[in-house]
A and B are shown apart, each in its own frame.
Chain A
Amino acid sequence: MTFLLTEDQEMLRDTAMAFARDELPVTHLRQLRDSGANGKDPATRQKLAELGFFGVIVPEEPGGEHFGLVGLGQILEAQGRTLAATPLLQTALIGASAIQLGGTPAQQAEWLPKIAGGDVTFALALDESAHFNPLNVATEAERNGQGYTINGEKRYVPDGHHADMLIVVARTFGEAGDRHGLSLFLVPADAKGVSIQELKTADSHGAAHITFTDVMVGEGALIGAADEGADVLEPVLDRAAIGQAAEMLGSAQAAFDMTLEYLQSRKQFGQLIGSFQSLQHRAAKMFTELEMTRSCVAAALSAVDEGKTNVAELASLAKAKASELVHLVSNECVQMHGGIGMTDVADPGLYMKRARAQEAMYGSASWHRDRYAKLNGY
């Protein structure tokens, strides 16, 4: 395992940091919120495509060079810093990974170049309740003559309100809770019978509840083997959790930097508040947690690229640590800013709201702690 970036990955990181800072600052999210765009941002999608960010884990030639998940992690971290709402996690990470891990050669030839070019965006339609529980799928896909008929309801699908294609996790066998019997389907968002209810969410990124009523798809829509969708879904979800953790690390870092700056500029009792030991110690503890979480995220990203066998364990570690971190830091950010931290005009509250959405995706801290314990045999 390596914690060091290659020269190419360093350059990608620098580009992503500069892009987030210059083109996607927090004020950009505010504009999207206040204009009612609700996370829909075609202009940014276009710029991301021009930068090549959609194809970071997709080699130009099959088996060719690419930046890897480590590279994509740098971009997600950069975007986490400014709370940017972009389709990268859903499309460049989840969509590309699902097609790479489960797609037939024909599906890969069709979709990967489109993903890399930014010509298509994806959203993973998985959860059916308020808590992440990937096997708890009741949405049915029933065989018909030419393919499958899908019926069911998905809740809080990130990017579901603007993605072109949906990856729908449905049940072709068994009952909710069974691992066997899950299948993954590619469904165009505008297919007949797909009904999308756009959600206004606290983090201003938006999401959608999606209902499937007699949605017909062909055999070619199936990703991976029928009934064995979990074999594709689980590694995709591990990668998604790691990518989400990278984004959370960026958010926590930015909230921490903002807090530190405030501690070094705000005066009370004739003193910089950063000279008070109770605040210094809390800042120092946050910094320690930040550095430790950074190690976990880096290890998890690189474990995927190196094909390590402990990816699931490291994914749970990274996601749980990042969750704890981002709540700690965003809450301290509000507290240490005092009254100004409670106002809408200041940024701390935006980080706190986004942190809750980040935690809910791909397993909360307690979900991952439970899995970590299971993987460690207790």
Chain B
Amino acid sequence: MADTAVDELETFRAETRAWLEENCPPSMRTPMKDDEIVWGGKREKFKNPESKVWLERMASKGWTAPQWPKKYGGGGLSPAEARVLQQEMSRIKARQPLFSFGLWMFGPALLEFGNEEQKQRFIPDIVHGRTRWCQGYSEPGAGSDLADLQTRCEDKGDHYLINGQKVWTSYADKADWIFCLVRTDTSVKHEGISFILFDMESEGVEARPILLISGESPFCETFFTDVKVPKDQLVGEVNGGWQIAKRLLQFERSSISAGGFGGTGGSGIMGPEDYAKQHIGTDSDGRLLDGDLRGRITDHKMYAKAFSLTVQRQAEQAKAGQAVSHTASILKYGAAKMNQDRHELLIEALGTEGLGWEGEGFDPTAKKVTRQWLRSKGNSIEGGTSEINLNVISKRVLGLKDHK
């Protein structure tokens, strides 16, 4: 890198540091609490008022979406500047001001495939957290075989008419808008899918939360009955939605493997070795008394370390312009396995302490582990099952052929 570029980056660092120092409210420098995560949208309550201030300030600089173009409200930062911003935020332990499917999945896809009018209309509201988006992909009959989706979208001349059902729609009951895969041609499979956007308050839309084994309801069944959608809300070409859908899945898999959503992490939960030490004990050399569990914890920790080194290695290679083929599937597969193994070990190390559900008598953190353990079972199902990811690796990376 040229010296001037280095100087400019250091100037940017100094300015960023000063701005964050000035503008990041004190409580936004403490570990995120589960109920203070800001998802934005019309119904956002901002339980902690400082999180509203923080979001507004960050959004005004476009720093909720640091690398998106300025003309749509993004930060317009270079990758190097975005890294500096991330480093400076980590330095003061600043919270992410906004969690958003719009930022992680829909926005990047719209920037790539949307027309100018659509980008002007939707991107700034994502940056500012004014619109909360949900994802209408899976259907009761189309899970791993997503392209088999049947939700109908008929051209009625001056509008589209949508009828059908989606399932596993994350937070559909809390979202303002949906990006949705619909069928515009029933005679073909992949080539008959379109990508369309509509308001969740449209007449004929109903979202019902699904109670999961974890006792929580992050997903909904979503029903569409004669929903009218203006024609300018279809993204890309009619019947050209599958390309957009696949690209968006790559963004989704990357953000899942980067720990973007799913569990919120942290929350005072310790490692399985810590709970094992506490509940099982150690010998005079400090070794866990349960040698078998100790070995399995080590297997897991080594896997986790190898995984994070692989994320680093691939990031470095990508930065240096080296080919990193289908990274997302490898990392998505590994992340699911890692998170599930971790929670199996946590629950095992906790013993009966890990069996609390609600009320008194159990450590609150342990009760959180119990819920997260059950939630983690979805990691190998959502966003492409592990089996589908193995298919992708074997076909696209290893070049193995389909059965004739």
Contact = CB atoms under 8 A, between A and B. Distances in A.
Interface of A: 1-4, 260, 263-264, 270-272, 274-277, 280-281, 283-285, 287-288, 291-296, 298-299, 317, 320-321, 366, 369-370, 372-374, 376-378
A376 B273 contact: yes
Interface string B293-310: 011011101110111011
A292 B334 contact: yes
Given A291-B310, A373-B294, A284 B398 contact: yes
Nearest to B392: A284
B250 interface: no
A283 B299 CA distance: 21
Contact of B306 (A4, A263, A280, A293): A293
Given A284-B398, A295-B312, A378 B393 contact: no
A317 B306 contact: yes
A372 B313 contact: no
Contacts of B330: 287-288, 291
B337 to A, nearest CB: 9
A321 B301 contact: no
B298 A3 contact: no
Interface stretch (B188-196, B282-290, B365-373): B282-290
Contacts of B310: 291-292, 294-295
A2 B316 contact: yes
Given A280-B394, A372-B298, A378-B288, A274 B401 contact: yes
Interface centre among A274, A288, A376, A377 (most CB of B within 10 A): A288
A378 B317 contact: no
Contacts of B393: 284, 287-288
A276 B394 CA distance: 11
B66 to A, nearest CB: 24
B319 to A, nearest CB: 9
B316 A4 contact: yes
Contact of B390 (A263, A281, A320): A281
14 contacts: A264-B399, A275-B400, A275-B401, A275-B402, A283-B394, A283-B398, A284-B391, A288-B333, A291-B310, A370-B298, A373-B287, A373-B295, A377-B273, A378-B287
A285 B322 CA distance: 23
A280 B302 CA distance: 25
Contacts, number: 125
Interface string B375-404: 000000000000101110111011111111
A213 B389 CA distance: 61
B21 to A, nearest CB: 29
Contact of A295 (B294, B297, B313): B313
B320 interface: yes
Contacts of A294: 310, 313
A192 to B, nearest CB: 42
Contact of A271 (B287, B312, B403): B403
A275 B403 contact: yes
Given A281-B390, A372-B302, A263 B286 contact: no
Nearest to A275: B403
A371 to B, nearest CB: 10
Contacts of A373: 273, 287-288, 294-295, 297-298
Contacts of A287: 330, 393, 397-398
B307 to A, nearest CB: 6
Residue among A1, A291, A298 with the most chain B CB within 10 A?
Answer: A291
B401 A272 contact: yes
B234 interface: no
Given A3-B313, A285-B390, A377 B286 contact: yes
A282 B201 CA distance: 46
A43 B382 CA distance: 57
B276 interface: yes
Contacts of B301: 372, 376
A4 B295 contact: no
A378 B276 contact: yes
Contact of A296 (B285, B298, B305, B399): B305
B172 to A, nearest CB: 32
B403 A3 contact: no
Given A275-B402, A378-B282, A317 B302 contact: yes
A310 to B, nearest CB: 10
A340 B391 CA distance: 27
B298 A280 contact: no
B277 interface: yes
A299 B398 contact: no
B302 A369 contact: yes
A280 B390 CA distance: 8
B273 A274 contact: no
B391 A270 contact: no
Contacts of A378: 273-274, 276-277, 282, 286-288, 294, 297
B259 to A, nearest CB: 17
